[in-house]
Structure formats: structure tokens, C-alpha cells
Amino acid sequence: MPLQRIDTVVVGGGISGLAYAHARGPASELVVLEASERAGGLVRTTALGALGEFHCELGPETLRFEARGGLTDMLRELDLVAERPPKESRRRYLVCRGRLVEAPLGVGKFLRTPLLSWRGKLRMIAEPFRSKHLGNDGSVAEFVRHRIGEEALQGLLDPLVSGIHAGDPAVLSMRACFPRLVELVEKHGGLFRAQWKTRGEPAPSVMKTKGGCEAITRALAAALGAKLRLHARVHSFAREGERWLIESDAGRFDAARVVLAMPAAGAAALLAHAAPAIARRISEIESESLSSLVHVYRREQVGHPLAGFGYLVASREKLRHLGTLFSSSIAPDACPPTHVVLRTLLGGARAPHLAAAPELELLDIVRAEVHPLLAIRGEPELVAVQRWRATLPRFDLAHPARVQAIERALPPTLSLLGNYLRGIGVNHLVAAARTLAQHHGP
């Protein structure tokens, strides 16, 4: 195959690679090489049912929009509209001794919640008196235990961490997973003080694009046109003087710059010869695997009103699933009013084997654990399983130093994007991609 000379090759057509390529602008000379038959990576919305009447998310369910920048600007450029889910779906639930309890978001609910004893509540209220220096560079568990106590860790934070990172709070680094909270404590002296001092500042909103999250990656792919090549797995790349030689299913490229926007394991494998020291550091990053099971019922089969976003499960409950999203409450247009769509997540650090367990085993868990919690009678009308293998990186205690070392070692013509670096949320990834594109210019 002839060698094509080009300015930039982007490897990976997930949200990171697409957002970067889009932000470089129409005049940029670049190509995005995506291994699979579709763009979007983990961002995936599918239509289920005989008529495709159930629109379900298999990857991200909703996205966080900052008031300005990143995702908000990108959506405007793509002419896409994001909407807040209905008000009632802002309610979140936690499992407490085998039943659903509303998460205590607000003073009244906090005082009444059965999730914490009075001793646990008093310990939480004492947060402003805790030292602002302790726990910030430790695990999520150490930070939370120091600031708001053991009960709050077990009852409130443990399920939240499972919901976002599918990980173990004792292993995850607070600074890597929740950098904003550490920053607020260091700046204002405590979480409650920070909340008071930053009141009135615009808070990020949880929203969803019309047509589902994949509407964004579809629009990015359409805007890129022929610059995006599908079925274009990159096999190898090597340094040739100041330039890079890339071999892929879509041909050979001679590029001035390469942006790797792919998962950690793939990036480490590609870099093994061209940049072995960086590859070694990336290969230290472990990732959690998940199964996501969509299950659809007729509305009258479900006794619970599903007026909320969903629920999360704390480890102390000894259940095998991590939580369930009330997908049809978050996006009522995505499903006929006669039915409800639920999505249960299983696997992660708590039960790694469930990421690969057969569909029947996952469905048995749903029947045994989810059905009683939501008062569901009978069988689901539709079921769909999506496996996500090694997709959620484990930001362990060594992660902040590791990422700094990786970034310091990168030559100026090689860049990395992806959820194994500084944040897993799509909002973080888009912001990082756009900052890099701005730095590289059109």
C-alpha cells in the first residue's frame, strides 16, 4: 500500500478521538482510524423491540454539562440539543436493609434518613472541624472516613463509588477520582464550608441529548466525513526521525503527529516498541469490567413508581448487583408509556466474574435481587446484555504520580487521550480533547 503523508493521525474513534478531530476544525489535515464498524466506542444507544420502539443506552446514560466550555460548546457547534431529565428523576435511591431509601439530598431528608444512625449524622455534621490536610492524598475511603466518618463511607460513599468507578473505595485514590472535592477542601478548609462559599456559582447539570448519547458521536462522525475511517485497526506505529509511520487496515501513514485516543491496554500495546517506558507505565493501569443488562416490562408489572434516576447498592448489603437505572424515567420519550425500561449493572471490583457471566445467570440475579426491590411481577418482555471488558480504569493510589510521569515522558508529537488518564466522564474527555486540539491548532 502507498504511504500517505499527513499532518495528524488519531487512533480511536470514541468520544475522545472524535471530539479532538472535530475541534481541530475543517481545515485540519488529519485522519481518525477506528478499528470497529462504528464510531462512538463506549457511547452506544440502541433500539430494541420488534419496531425498535425502546431506545436504550448501553454505555453512558446521562452526561454532565458545565455552564461553559467543553461539552456545552461542542453541542452548540453540532446543533444538538441537550435536555434535563424530568424533575422527579433527580431523586436517587440507595438500598438500606433490603429496601429502597431516598438519598438524603437536603437538610430535612438528611435528618430523617434511616441510612445513618444519630451518631453517624452527628459525626457528619462535625466535618468543618476536621483537619483540611489529612486524607487528601490517600484512598477515597481514608478521605471520607476522616471527613464525614465510617457510617457515611459505608452507607453513602461506597455505593456512589461503585456507581461511578465500579471500584473499591479502599483502593481508589481520592485525588485521582474526585480531584474537585480535594481542591475544595484544600481551598476552603472543608466540604460544608466549600458548599457555603461556592453557593450561587453555576453547578454542572446532568443532561441527555435528544436521540440519546450516541446522537453526539453520530453527529461528530458525520461532521468529520471522509476524515473518519472505519474498519481501520492500527497494528503498529514507529518513529522515523521526526515523523511517525502508522500501519493500519486502512493503509500506511507518515504523520507529523499522532494522538492515541484508545483504551489503556491498546495504547500500551501500540507503544511497546516506539515508546517502551511510557508503555510500561500505561500497562500498570488496571481496569474494571462490567455487564449491563437492559430489562423491559409492561408498566403494570412494576409496583414501584420508579420516580427517580435509579438506585445504588452499598457493599454491606451483600447483593450481587451494583445498582439499577430507571432509564425510562430519565428519558420518557425513549419508550412507549405502556412500558418501563430498567438497566442493571453488574461486575466491577465487587464481583469481577459477573462481567463475563452467562445471560441466564445475570437474569437470575435480577429476578432474585431487583424484582423484590422494585416489586416486579413476572418476566421481562425484553432483555439485552452488553459486556464492557476492561473499560473503567482503576485510579489507584499510584495513579496521580503515574499520570504525571507518563505526561512528562511524552515527546511533543505524541499525545494521549482517554479515560485512563484524568477522568472517566465524557465531560472530562471532551474538555481534554478540545484543550489538546486548541494547543495543536487547526
Ligand X SMILES: Cc1cc2nc3c(=O)[nH]c(=O)nc-3n(C[C@H](O)[C@H](O)[C@H](O)COP(=O)(O)OP(=O)(O)OC[C@H]3O[C@@H](n4cnc5c(N)ncnc54)[C@H](O)[C@@H]3O)c2cc1C
Residues that bind ligand X (CB under 6 A): 11-17, 33-36, 41-43, 59-63, 233-234, 261-263, 266, 290, 292, 388, 391-392, 418-419, 424-427, 429
State the Cα–Cα distance between residues 236 and 59, nearest whole angstrom.
28
What is the gyration radius of the CA atoms in the chain, in angstroms? 22
Total residue count of the chain as it appears in this document:
442
Shortest distance (Å) from residue 122 CB to ligand X: 34
To ligand X, the closest distance from the beta carbon of 428 in angstroms equals 8
* DSSP H stretches of helix in 253-396: 264-274, 276-283, 327-330, 359-365, 371-374
Q: How far is the CB of 340 from ligand X (least distance, A)?
A: 19
- Quote the least distance from Cβ 121 to ligand X, whole Å: 29
The conformational region for residue 109 under phi > 0 = left, psi -120 to 50 = alpha, else beta, is alpha
User: Helix or strand or coil: residue 249?
Assistant: coil
Shortest Cβ 117–ligand X spacing (Å):
32
- Which CB sits closer to ligand X, 197 or 389? 389
Between residues 136 and 427, which has the closer beta carbon with respect to ligand X? 427
Rounded (10°) angle between helices 399-409 and 276-283: 160
- Minimum CB distance to ligand X, residue 362 (Å): 14
Q: Which ranges in 105-259 belong to alpha helices (H)?
A: 107-112, 118-125, 140-148, 150-152, 158-165, 174-177, 179-188, 191-197, 214-224
CA 274/CA 267 separation, integer angstroms: 11
CB of 211 to ligand X, least distance (A): 16
Q: Is the Cβ of residue 148 or residue 221 nearer to ligand X in the bound state?
A: 221
Q: Are the CB atoms for 163 and 324 separated by under 8 Å?
A: no
Q: Which is nearer to ligand X, 285 or 429 (CB)?
A: 429
**Residue with smaller CB distance to ligand X, 276 or 378:** 276
Evaluate whether 309 touches 330 at the Cβ level (below 8 Å): yes
Of 17 and 149, nearer to ligand X (C-beta) is 17
- The nearer residue to ligand X, 157 or 429, going by C-beta atoms, is 429
Nearer Cβ to ligand X, position 148 or 345?
A: 345
How many helices and strands, by DSSP H and E, does the chain display? 18, 19
Locus of grid cell 484512598: 139
Nearest CA-CA partner of 233 in 1, 40, 39, 35: 35
Between 12 and 85, whose beta carbon lies closer to ligand X?
12
Residue type, 286: E
Say which residues have a Cβ less than 8 Å from residue 219's Cβ, sequence separation at least 6.
78, 79, 80
- Cβ 92 vs Cβ 105: under 8 Å: yes
Nearest C-alpha neighbor of 278 from the set 406, 412, 421, 408: 406
Do the beta carbons of residue 10 and residue 17 sit within 8 Å?
Answer: yes
Q: Of 51 and 226, which has the nearer Cβ to ligand X?
A: 226
